């Protein structure tokens, strides 16, 4: 990115002053090195988002920002319905409610190492992964609607997990006001056999070791200890979410014109929040959030089954589950007044600070866990939301390392088999249905996740708590 187009406010904060049709400034949180790595398309998309009606405060980009569809991935924007605010399917993304969930094992590397190969093979056998993968559940249309209305609460009621799990999931595992009737038949058909599946792309299931703790008091409240093993699951709403995004982007392109909204980019298709299209999309999107929460809940049950075969005493409690492709109605301070805003987070994670009423105890005292995923051979991070982030970014932080090259470029640079062999030499076992998929997600295709986590910490978006490194990774 061309730094001359930005005003540097601090070492970690860069502004784009409003010009043209921008209603608010653009703000990017990143180090200079990360900013230089960003494509000018990120700058263009941050500017474009700032022109949308009803946007509040600023158009934000997180330290992992890169080019996306309409909004940058790593983009955050809040809209006020009282000021003609809009909702945009491009501001949520196609994989609605894609997110990360972290399970604690209470086990050490010494305990797991002798069973590493067996665990890798059993998880790969048990967890359906890859493009078009089908799970062990086949839902009737009635069951589909119940799942879309109930989310993880539905899954727990079916025997997939425990009531205790729900306390550690956003929205207690169920997004209210979901409208399964606004989800098309085609979207539902795509999902009938996909609940409890991992999918492809950057989705994964990893066994990871806590190699460093940076904030002992927060880690203690989370129950995270150096040397212990955790399990991270990264996936979303699969084909259903993609279908909803595809359909509503077409509908919103028409709706924007009908409501006199000038779009700088067709990919920013949107509709007023208080319009029929806006309300219909919200209902469908919330149903997709529930789909993703149910999906990760069923996957959790399958992982627990595998571990129970080898470690019968391991309960695998849930640390937290947080999504990073959503639009949520949240109360935030605008000037001196608290207002309900529609906060879009695309490739960005909610990061509520200490004391927030939506957080359960004992997490409320220290802030929400923020889960930043790596990719196979790189680290992942646990951070904690801060009070500062509530003012700086509507309580938002980054969600991962962010791509530094396209999937097509990655396949020209690496071969999947070679990546698997190189990681095996480092003691990291990869199980995947696709060598191409492994090449696309090669560690070198992503930004430095340590630099991204550091930028989030230094910018005040979230505080670093722990670093995790992979031992086993199941990929689509």
Please identify every residue annotated as catalytic: 399
Contact 27, 52 (CB under 8 A): no
- Tokens representing residue 454 in the block: 């550091």
Q: Which helix (H) or strand (E) covers residue 345, if one does? A: strand 337-346
What count of Cα atoms within 13 Å lies in the side-chain half-sphere of residue 28? 35
CA dihedral sign, ordered 270, 275, 281, 286: positive
Distance CA 415, CA 425 (A): 16
Query: Could you identify the residue written with the tokens 């997600």?
Result: 441
What is the four-CA torsion angle of 136, 141, 144, 150, rounded to 10 degrees?
-140
- Partnered with residue 344 across adjacent β-strands are 77, 327
Distance CA 54, CA 58 (A): 11
> Which of these, 101, 66, 79, 1, lies nearest to 318 by C-alpha position?
101
Q: Which helix (H) or strand (E) covers residue 60, if one does? A: strand 55-66
- Tokens representing residue 250 in the block: 């077409």
Nearby residues of 88 by Cβ (< 8 Å), 6 or more positions away? 52, 70, 71, 252, 268, 269, 270, 344
Question: Strand pairing of 26-29 and 55-66?
Answer: parallel
Nearby residues of 348 by Cβ (< 8 Å), 6 or more positions away? 60, 62, 74, 75, 76, 324, 396, 397, 398, 399
Which 8-state DSSP code applies to residue 37? H
Question: Strand pairing of 429-432 and 462-475?
Answer: parallel
Rounded to 5°, angle at Cα 133 from 132 and 135:
135
């Amino acid at each position: 990115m061309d730094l001359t187009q930005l005003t540097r406010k601090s070492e970690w904060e860069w502004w784009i002053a409003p010009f043209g049709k921008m209603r608010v400034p653009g703000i990017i949180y990143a180090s200079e090195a990360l900013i230089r790595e960003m494509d000018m398309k990120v700058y263009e998309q941050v500017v474009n988002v700032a022109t949308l009606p009803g946007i509040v405060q600023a158009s934000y980009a997180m330290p992992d920002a890169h080019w996306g569809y309409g909004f940058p991935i790593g983009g955050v924007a809040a809209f006020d319905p009282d000021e003609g605010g809009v909702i945009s399917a491009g501001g949520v993304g196609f994989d609605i409610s894609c997110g990360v969930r972290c399970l604690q094992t209470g086990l050490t590397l010494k305990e797991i190492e002798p069973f590493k190969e067996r665990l890798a093979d059993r998880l790969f056998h048990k967890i359906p992964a890859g493009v078009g993968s089908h799970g062990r559940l086949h839902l009737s249309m009635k069951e589909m609607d119940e799942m879309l209305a109930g989310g993880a609460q539905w899954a727990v009621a079916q025997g997939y997990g425990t009531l205790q799990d729900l306390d550690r999931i956003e929205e207690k595992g169920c997004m209210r006001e979901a409208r399964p009737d606004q989800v098309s038949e085609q979207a539902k058909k795509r999902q009938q056999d996909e609940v409890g599946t991992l999918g492809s792309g950057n989705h994964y299931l990893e066994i990871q070791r806590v190699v460093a703790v940076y904030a002992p008091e927060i880690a203690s409240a989370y129950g995270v200890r150096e040397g212990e093993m955790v399990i991270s699951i990264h996936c979303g709403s699969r084909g259903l979410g993609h279908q909803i995004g595809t359909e509503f982007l077409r509908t919103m392109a028409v709706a924007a014109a009908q409501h006199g909204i000038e779009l700088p980019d067709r990919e920013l298709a949107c509709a007023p929040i208080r319009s029929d299209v806006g309300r219909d999309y919200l209902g469908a999107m919330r149903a997709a959030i529930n789909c993703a929460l149910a999906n990760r809940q069923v996957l959790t049950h399958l992982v627990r089954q595998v571990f129970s075969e080898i470690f019968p005493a391991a309960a695998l409690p849930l640390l937290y589950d947080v999504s990073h492709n959503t639009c949520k109605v949240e109360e935030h301070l605008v000037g001196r007044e608290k207002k309900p805003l529609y906060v879009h987070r695309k490739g960005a994670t909610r990061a509520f600070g200490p004391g927030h009423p939506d957080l359960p105890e004992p997490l409320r005292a220290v802030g929400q866990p923020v889960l930043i995923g790596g990719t196979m051979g790189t680290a992942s991070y646990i951070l904690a939301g801060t009070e500062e982030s509530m003012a700086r970014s509507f309580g938002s932080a980054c969600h991962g390392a962010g791509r530094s090259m396209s999937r097509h470029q990655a396949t020209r640079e690496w071969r999947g088999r070679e990546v698997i062999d190189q990681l095996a030499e480092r003691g990291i076992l990869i199980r995947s249905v696709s060598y191409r998929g492994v090449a696309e997600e090669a560690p070198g295709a992503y930004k430095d996740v340590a630099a991204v986590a550091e930028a989030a910490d230094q910018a005040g978006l979230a505080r670093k708590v722990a670093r995790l490194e992979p031992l086993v990774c199941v990929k689509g």
